[in-house]
Amino acid sequence: MTVPPNVKADWEKRFPDLSGKWTHWRLTGEGQVIALFPGERLLDALRFVEANCNRYTSIKCCRATVDEIGNCAEVQDALFEISNTQNDQRMRTRVTGPGASNEA
């Protein structure tokens, strides 16, 4: 399924800014860690969300730091929901209309 640009733009706005010690985004799907992306790879993180948005009912993100060998060293408590199946479907419907097919 193709994800409309308005849904992707909404996801991008949901990623928290990284500042200070926070250098990475840690993504979780249904409570399990599914990816870790450095701040300069936002486009890769968005592509990952797009590729996995149908695998998880919700993909969440938190800020993280990474140690010198690349392991996640610290995670911020605050979670930011990037993708949610129900919200994403509502956004798709705004573009395609309720009677249109969402398949590409």
Amino acid residing at 16: P
At 82 the three-state DSSP class reads: strand
**Does residue 104 form part of some domain?**
no
Of 87 and 103, more confident: 87
Q: What CATH number has the domain bearing residue 87?
A: 3.30.190
At 10-69, the pLDDT tens digits run: 999 999 999 999 999 999 999 999 999 999 999 999 999 999 999 999 999 999 999 999
CB of 36 closer than 8 Å to CB of 63 = no
Looking at the structure of the chain, the number of domains it has is 1
**Does residue 100 form part of some domain?**
no
**Does residue 19 form part of some domain?**
yes
Instruction: Give me the residues paired with residue 58 across strands.
Output: 84
pTM: 0.84
Amino acid residing at 75: V
**Does residue 102 form part of some domain?**
no
- The pLDDT-based confidence of 85 (bands split at 50, 70, 90) is confident
State the residue range of the domain holding 58.
5-91
CA distance 60 to 80: 5
**Does residue 98 form part of some domain?**
no
